[in-house]
Amino acid sequence: MTITITAFERSPDGGQGMARDMRVRWALEEVGQPYDVRLLSFKAMKEPAHLALHPFGQIPTYEEGDLALFESGAIVFHIAERHAGLLPDDPNARARAITWMFAALNTVESPIVDREVAEYLEGDETWYEQRLPFIDGRIRKRLGELSGRLGNADWLDGAFSAADLLMVTVLRRLEGSAILEEYPNLSGYVARGKARPAYRRAFDAQPAVFTAAPTG
Ligand SMILES: N[C@@H](CCC(=O)N[C@@H](CS)C(=O)NCC(=O)O)C(=O)O
């Protein structure tokens, strides 16, 4: 059955792969599943046809036969459950990998997204300069903890898994801020993820069209 995902018609980051369809593309490349991409304008994302697939009018979505999913984490989890290669077979190792998937999206991504929102939407506010150090402090706290746990390991818990795929895409959102470079093992971790052939294929497949709009 054909898999179809949605992505921005015009990538606000100019094709840097920061939008969350990149996670889904990468997961599909890791498990060797071909997919089609339906590109959407910002207007089309808020229209009934897309809202029927995604209640919040965002990308990415995932369609396969009768199944329609939204939320990048849920989509990556679905792909990892249906195809070998992104979750360990051992039940305990699998549960730990799933735990790290939640950690990436709930615990690490949240302050990073706060920083993006502040930059995009609050940059002109009088209190912006005072707020940024607080957000960066929350990010550094999480990165310090993550860095301590990763140590010298290649991946979060044994072999590369969907947890690493999500965590790498989350940490990538800090590219350009110089914060990530304060944690050399995390920079190396992101570089390892980006060096995977499946990542390269996914990155090269996403369109590089610039608009000034924020990714949200
Ligand atoms: N938690 C959602 C977030 C989805 C999201 O924020 N998508 C962004 C692109 S990365 C989007 O569609 N932004 C445009 C908008 O919200 O109007 C997920 O992980 O899929």
Rounded alpha-carbon distances, angstroms, from residue 206 to 23, 35, 111, 178, 180: 11, 12, 26, 25, 24
Rounded alpha-carbon distances, angstroms, from residue 67 to 40, 62, 63, 169, 179: 19, 8, 6, 25, 39
> Which residue minimizes the CA distance to atom 2 of ligand 1?
71
Other Cβ atoms less than 10 A from the Cβ of 34: the count is: 8
Contact 19 CB / ligand 1 (< 6 Å): yes
Q: Do domains 3-85+199-207 and 91-196 have the same CATH topology?
A: no
> Which residue minimizes the CA distance to atom 17 of ligand 1?
58
Ligand 1 centroid distance, CA of 60 (Å): 7
Q: Residue 156 has which token pair?
A: 């979060």
Q: Convert the pLDDT of each residue in 126-183 to its tens digit.
A: 898 999 999 999 999 999 999 999 999 999 999 999 999 999 999 999 998 899 999 9
Q: Convert the pLDDT of each residue in 83-132 to its tens digit.
A: 999 999 999 999 999 999 999 999 999 999 999 999 889 988 989 899 99
> Would you call 105 exposed, middle or buried from its count of C-beta atoms within 10 A (0-12, 13-18, 19+)?
buried
Structural domain boundaries in the chain: 3-85+199-207, 91-196
The best mutation among 58, 69, 71, 106 to test binding of ligand 1, ranked by most ligand atoms within 8 Å of the C-beta, falls on 58
For the segment(s) 91-196, the CATH number from 1.10.10.60, 2.40.110.10, 1.10.390.10, 1.20.1050.10 is 1.20.1050.10
Alpha helices in the chain (DSSP H): 21-30, 42-45, 48-51, 72-82, 91-102, 109-121, 128-150, 162-172, 184-194, 197-205
Q: Assign domain 3-85+199-207 to a CATH class.
A: alpha beta
Contact 215 CB / ligand 1 (< 6 Å): yes
Q: What is the pTM of this model?
A: 0.95
- Given a cut of 50, is residue 215 above it in pLDDT? no
